[in-house]
Amino acid sequence: MVRRLRDRNRATVEHLSRDALDVRELKRLGLLKHRAMSLETGFRWPSIDRIISERFWLVLENWGRGTVQQIRVSWTRCHLGGWRPWMHCPSCGKRVAKLLKGLGGYLCRSCIGDPLYACQAKSTYGRIHFELCKIRLQLGGMASPTEPFPERPPRMRRKTYERLKARAFELEMELPAKRRKKPVDYPNLVYYLT
């Protein structure tokens, strides 16, 4: 029987997202204004030293590697008024909210080679375990299914809590007891903590 081998070293979307450029975050940081602005990025994006921007473009500078990358920015009108920014992938031109960091600089998800989401890169039980951990973290509890199930967070709607809890129990039923003790995949789960 021929089986597809999972590449365990393949970077997941979650992994790549830590260094990702999110256009909403850039706007929040005060970039993308009508006049030219510059931002020293510090530790937030280790591979970028400075971002220079104006309303319709961004320039990423990396002095260490002597690279400069230019990214086009466009705006669309929101339903509730106001405008929201988009970046255009420097390779294919596609309009996206996030660019991921690859070896050749920042590109859209498909130009970077369509990395998988962590759950897609896992076995069936791995996927169940991952989703279960994710729900538990969303509820502010301990990720591991061996820990007690979290209470409803004070600011969460009762209906939302009941739905997530029902889903978690459904997943738990599918997970053999032995698999519950599997180590928690924190490197990929941090992506879902906001």
Q: Is 71 in the site for Zn ion (CB under 5 A)?
A: no
Tokens at 100, concatenated:
């991921």
Q: Is 72 in the site for Zn ion (CB under 5 A)?
A: no
CB of 14 to Zn ion, least distance (A): 19
Which C-beta is closer to Zn ion: that of 105 or that of 150? 105
CA angle 111, 113, 115 (to 5 degrees): 120
DSSP 175: S
What is d(CA 109, CA 115) in angstroms, rounded to the nearest whole number?
7
- Residue 108's contacts (CB-CB under 8 Å, 6 or more residues apart) are 89, 91, 92, 94, 96, 99, 100
Q: Is 104 in the site for Zn ion (CB under 5 A)?
A: no
Q: Is 91 in the site for Zn ion (CB under 5 A)?
A: yes
Which C-beta is closer to Zn ion: that of 46 or that of 113? 113
How many binding residues for Zn ion (CB under 5 A)?
A: 6
Which C-beta is closer to Zn ion: that of 38 or that of 110? 110
Q: Is 89 in the site for Zn ion (CB under 5 A)?
A: yes
Q: Is 51 in the site for Zn ion (CB under 5 A)?
A: no
CA angle 55, 57, 71 (to 5 degrees): 150
Which C-beta is closer to Zn ion: that of 78 or that of 103? 103
Which C-beta is closer to Zn ion: that of 31 or that of 99? 99
Applying CB under 5 A, the span of 7-15, 94-102, 149-157, 175-183 interacting with Zn ion comes to: 94-102
Which C-beta is closer to Zn ion: that of 86 or that of 149? 86
* Contacts (CB under 5 A) with Zn ion, residues 110-139: 111
Secondary structure of 90-141 in the HEC alphabet? CCCCCEECEEEEECCEEECCCCCCCCCCHHHHCCHHHHHHHHHHHHHHHCCC
Q: Is 92 in the site for Zn ion (CB under 5 A)?
A: yes
Separation in Å, CA 18 to CA 64, 152, 178: 20, 28, 31
| Residues forming the site for Zn ion (CB under 5 A) | 89, 91-92, 94, 108, 111
